[in-house]
Structures are given as C-alpha cells and as structure tokens.
Amino acid sequence: MQGELDLSEDNLVQMALTGDHDAFAQLVQKYTPDVFRTASMVLRDRDEVEDVVQEAFLICYRKLKSFRMESSFKTWLYRIVVNLCYDRLRKLRRESAAFTKLSLNFNVGNGDMSEIDNRIDLKEIISSLSPEHRLVLTLYYGMDFGVKKVAQTLGIPVGTVKSRLSAARSLLKERLERGQEYAL
Amino acid sequence: MRCEIVRPMLHDLLDKTLSPEEAREVGDHLAACESCRSEFQELKRVDDLLREAVCEMINAIEVPPDLGGRIEKILAERKNKTLVGWLAAFLKPPAVAALLLTVVAAAGIFSFHNYFRPAANQSKVVLEDPQTSSKQLQNENAPGGLSLLTLDGELHDELSAPAEPEQLEQSGERDEVRAVQDRVSAGGGSGAAADLKERQASSVKLQVPPAAPQPTQEKSFPAPAAGGFFAAAAPSLKKGTIEEAAGEVGFVPARPAYLPRGAELQEVTWLSGTICQSYRAGQFSFTISQSRRDVAVPFYDEAARQGTPVQINGLRAILQETRPETVGGTPRVFTTVRWQRGEWIFSVCGDLPGEEIIKIASSL
C-alpha cells in the first residue's frame, strides 16, 4: 500500500516537473490539509497560516524546476512551510516583545494545587513549548515523520531532534510522576 | 549490557534509531532486567500519550475546505498572467506607483547612484512639480539632464534614447523599458484611472534598479525613493495644503497623533482618490497615504498577500520591508504598513525603523 502511494506521488511529481499543471494541482490538494495543520501548530493566527500555506505552494510551484529529488517532495514542501513559519515568527517577535512562551519548562507553581482537576493538561504543556519544539513533536508524532526526516525538514542535526523528543518525554514523565503525588 | 548504558538507549529504541544489533542487545537486557523494563514501559506510555495528544491537537484544527481550491486558482491565474500583469497585482497604491514609474524610469536611464542623493536633496527633487523642477533636475543630475517627469512625449523621448549599457544590467530590462514606452505613447497624457493602471502595470517592470540585485522572490518588491512617494509624473497629481486636498478629493485625511522627534510635514499631494502627506524627520522621511477602498482595491488585495501581518489598533495590517538599499551612501530599509479601516485604505511608508512606522500608523 505504502509502495503504491509513493509511486503515484512520484508520478505526480514527475508530471508536475514537466509542467503538468493538473499534477501539481493534485499535489496541492493532497498536502494542503496537513501542511495547514502543521503550520497551525506553530503560528497562532489562522489568516497567517493560510498565507503561509499559499505562499509555500507558490514557492514550490516556482521552484519546481530546481527540485532535485534529493529528498522527497513532501520533505521539500514541508521544509518550505517550516521556513516560512519561522520567518513569520521572527517578524512577529520583532514587533511584539511579549510574543510567545518560549520556555520548555512548564512551571506548575502553587496555583495549580488549588485546582480541583489534577489531571495534567498535556495539550497545554505542548502549547507552552517553543515553536521549534512543537514542530518536532508535530512532525514526529503527528505527521509520522521519522527522526531523520524531521531533521531533514527542520534543517537540524538528528541529535537535536532526538534530544528534543527525549526532553519532551522526560518532561511529561516527570509531570506525570508529580501528578501522581498530588492525586488523592 | 549494563543498566547505565541501556537507560539512555531507551529513547533511541523508541525513536527506532538503533542499529538492528543494538536493538537486539537492548531487547535482551530488557527481557532480563525488571527495573529497566518498567522504565521503558513508562517511557513508552509517555510516548503514546504524547502521540495521542499531538494527534488530537492536530485533528482539532479545522482546515478551510476551499483552501486547496483557492491555491489552485491562484496558481492557474499565475500561469496565465504575463509577467507585467503579475507584477501589477503586487502593486502599491496609485500615487506610489505613479511616482515609482518616474523614479525608476530615471534610475533606468541614469546611474542609480546619481539619482539617489542624500535624503535632504532628494525630497526636493522628487516632490516638486514637473514643470518647475525639470531644470533643477537637469542641474542636479548626471549629464544629459532628466526631463522625463511627465508621462507625455518627454518620457517617450528619454526612453527611446539608447540607455547606457551599464545602467541596464539585463537586456530584459531594456525590453521592459521599450514596453513602457509603447504603453505610454499609447496611453497619452491623460490621468484617467484606466491609463494610470496601465502605466502602473508597466511601471513595476522598471522597478528593478540596475545597481541592485534582481529580486528573486515574490516577497521582495522594489525600493521606493527615499524622501517621499509623490508622483511628480502623473499629470493629475496635485500638491498643496491639506485643506486644498480635502476640498478636491472630498475627505479630510487623518493626521498622525504621534510623530517622531523633529518630524515636519513637508508636502501634501493628492491624486484621484488618494491623499499623501510627506514628512521629514532628520535624515528620515515617511509618507502617509489615505484612499478610499474602491480606489485602491485591485492592488490592495493582492499586495496584502505579500508581507507580514501586524496589528494596527486591533486592525489587521500588512507590513512589508525592502532589502537594504544603499541610498546616499547609507543602507536604508523601507518599511510599508498598509491596512484598512472601514472604507479607508491607509499606508505609512518610510525609511524609519519599523517600530516607528507602526507607531505613526497606530496614531492616525
């Protein structure tokens, strides 16, 4: 099954490379949803995400000729999306100092103890991670990229990807253990 | 294998980044060692929880159902448009574009460095009425003089003179210059909106300054002239006081409550439905433009796609920056913020730092 999909994608890409507009359109339809979701895990504003996705495909379309098939089309496309997201983040950070929580450490603080619900909100923890960490989790867990592919897409060493994954796991593990202490 | 060695490898086991031999060895150890086994199981549980949470977050994101279709449409349009039409879609408001035609035509004929003088002189050159300034420009600029500031026959004459090779880096530009001259001679000197659009469309092609690298990305756009964005070219462009502008165009433009230190209003110009206020603050300059939405809409919507979203008083705005261009010896970056408030389209553009531009914009 997987083999079949890859083959048909390769075909689509080849056709798109030769200028087949419909083939490229099919690639757009295929990847838009997941690319949109991935960008949404990094950027908050929906309009911005749409802009990024649109721009990514436009760049893709323009640069199709220089796509050398060293990586898969998917990795290449995601790489463009990620870079566009980072560009936006940089600009947003310049404009607003207090932009996003960038710390990996999600401090519980005393306030949490008064909460009736002691369940750890894992999604909140993930949301509070830096965009770069969120991206690793999104691609690895959400989009089923292997460690190597995550590294390729983000342009970072495999070791960095692994350390971010293990940091997320350790953080969660520690929080779960602490949570068990608080549970009645 | 000892526990201290296995423990760090548990993550690798989860990541599937162990070699087959390593994986086997770790597996063997886990089978025998209960403490490592339970550690791994805990880690696996966490891994599964993370996967579940991430997937839930991702699946909760609603993708606009028509997004793929919209993108396809844009690509199809892009495929069909000529280069000129495509560039026109990313154009600035009319007043700016009309000015840019003249500025860039000048840049195309004379060397970039000659035209872009230090800001103090520059605004004078750019802002003055074509009739009175042509002599001044002739004096200020390189030999040959610059008499192209009207779109009538004069421009035609200048452009038809063979441009010096070093000032048109690519033959493509030369063709573009010819294209403009064709359009201009076809369009005559009228200030009708349709003609202006035509000129604007062709003007963008000229906006690649010879001395600057060809922009390769859609995002980059031509560096506007420092010191002001007033079209000394379009015959229907007028200048005067705010009151005169308001009287002719039909609205009183918003004034900025915040101005950078030392900022002074230099000039007010207007054209069809747009009023521009030009300020100078020390070595910096900026322009505030205001137009009715129906005047600017074909350009605004497309241009809005190319830039960074920012907020101006809670309204969604687009910020664009040029690459640093060396003007009068110093690199300058021109920032434009453009947004819509009700029926009005505003833009603030200048070589001030972005934060200042935003402050001015927010104070309107």
Chain B environment of A142 (Cβ under 8 Å): 54-55, 57-58
Cβ atoms of residues B277 and B253 within 8 Å: yes
The whole-number pLDDT of residue B340 equals 85
What whole-number distance in Å separates Cα of residue A136 and Cα of residue A170? 15
Chain A environment of B68 (Cβ under 8 Å): 28-29, 32-33
When mean pLDDT is compared over A65-69, A176-180, B282-286, B331-335, the highest value belongs to: B282-286
Give the pLDDT mean for B254-282: 84
pLDDT band at residue A16 under the 50/70/90 scheme: confident
Assess B72–A contact: CB distance below 8 Å, yes or no.
yes
In this complex, the residue of B15, B53, B319 whose CB is nearest that of residue A147 is B15
* Beta-bridge partner residues of B316: B311
pLDDT in tens, A135-160: 999 999 999 999 999 999 999 999 99
Q: Say which amino acid occupies B22.
A: E
Assess A45–B contact: CB distance below 8 Å, yes or no.
yes
* Beta-bridge partner residues of B291: B274, B345
In this complex, the residue of A41, A62, A172 whose CB is nearest that of residue B57 is A41
The whole-number pLDDT of residue B112 equals 54
Give the pLDDT mean for B150-156: 40
Q: Say which amino acid occupies B44.
A: K
More confident residue, B96 or B277: B277
Cβ atoms of residues B210 and B169 within 8 Å: yes
Yes or no, beta carbons of A29 and B308 under 8 Å apart:
no
Q: What is the DSSP letter of A146?
A: -
Q: Give chain B as a 3 state SS string.
A: CCHHHHHHHHHHHHHCCCCHHHHHHHHHHHHHCHHHHHHHHHHHHHHHHHHHHHHHHHHCCCCCCCHHHHHHHHHHHHHHCCHHHHHHHCCCCHHHHHHHHHHHHHHHHCCHHHHCCCHHHHHHHHHCCHHHHHHHHHHHCCCCCCCCCCCCHHHHHHHHCCCCHHHCCCHHHHHHHHHHHHHHHHHCCCCCHHHHHHHHHHHHHCCCCCCCCCCCCCCCCCCCCCCCCCCCCCCCCEEECHHHHHHHHCCCCCCCCCCCCCEEEEEEEEECCEEEEEEEECCEEEEEEEEEHHHHHHHHHHHCCCCEEEEECCEEEEEEECCCEEECCEEECCEEEEEEECCEEEEEEECCCHHHHHHHHHCC
A-facing residues of B in 129-188 (CB < 8 A) are none
More confident residue, A38 or A178: A38
In this complex, the residue of A32, A141, A158 whose CB is nearest that of residue B54 is A141
Q: Which residue of A has its CA nearest to B57?
A: A123
Q: Position of tokens 């690793």? A: A136
The whole-number pLDDT of residue A21 equals 84
Is the pTM value of this prediction over 0.80?
A: no
Is the confidence at residue B276, as pLDDT, over 80?
Answer: yes
pLDDT in tens, A71-126: 788 999 999 999 999 999 988 887 765 544 443 333 444 444 433 343 457 888 88
Give the pLDDT mean for B40-64: 93
Give the pLDDT mean for A19-35: 90
Give the closest residue to A115 by CA, choosing from A56, A183, A177. Answer: A183
Compute the nearest-CA separation of B45 from chain A (Å). 9
Q: Position of tokens 């490379």? A: A17
Assess B70–A contact: CB distance below 8 Å, yes or no.
yes
In this complex, the residue of A32, A147, A165 whose CB is nearest that of residue B71 is A32
What whole-number distance in Å separates Cα of residue B174 and Cα of residue B170? 7
Average confidence score pLDDT of chain B: 69
What whole-number distance in Å separates Cα of residue B16 and Cα of residue A146? 8
pLDDT band at residue B18 under the 50/70/90 scheme: very high
Q: What percent of chain B has pLDDT over 90?
A: 19
Least confident stretch, A47-51, B22-26, B150-154: B150-154
Give the pLDDT mean for A37-46: 93
pLDDT band at residue B221 under the 50/70/90 scheme: very low
Chain A environment of B323 (Cβ under 8 Å): none
Interface test with A, best of B42, B52, B55, B308 (most A CBs within 10 A): B308
The whole-number pLDDT of residue B106 equals 63
The whole-number pLDDT of residue A141 equals 96
Interface test with B, best of A26, A30, A32, A90 (most B CBs within 10 A): A32
The whole-number pLDDT of residue B290 equals 87
Is the confidence at residue B254, as pLDDT, over 60?
Answer: yes
Give the closest residue to B271 by CA, choosing from B242, B243, B231, B303. Answer: B231
Q: Please return the burial class of A107, using the count of CB atoms within 10 Å of its CB with bins 0-12, 13-18 and 19+.
A: exposed
Give the closest residue to A105 by CA, choosing from A128, A71, A89. Answer: A128
pLDDT band at residue B34 under the 50/70/90 scheme: very high
The whole-number pLDDT of residue B260 equals 87
pLDDT band at residue B194 under the 50/70/90 scheme: very low
The strand pair at B274-281 and B263-271 is best described as: antiparallel
The whole-number pLDDT of residue B23 equals 94
A130 Cβ contact list (under 8 Å, min separation 6): A100, A101, A102, A103, A104
In this complex, the residue of B17, B50, B58 whose CB is nearest that of residue A169 is B50
Cβ atoms of residues B247 and B238 within 8 Å: no
What whole-number distance in Å separates Cα of residue A131 and Cα of residue A108? 20
The whole-number pLDDT of residue B171 equals 45
Helices (H), chain A: 2-17, 21-40, 46-63, 73-95, 122-128, 131-137, 147-154, 158-182
pLDDT in tens, B296-319: 544 445 555 567 888 888 888 888
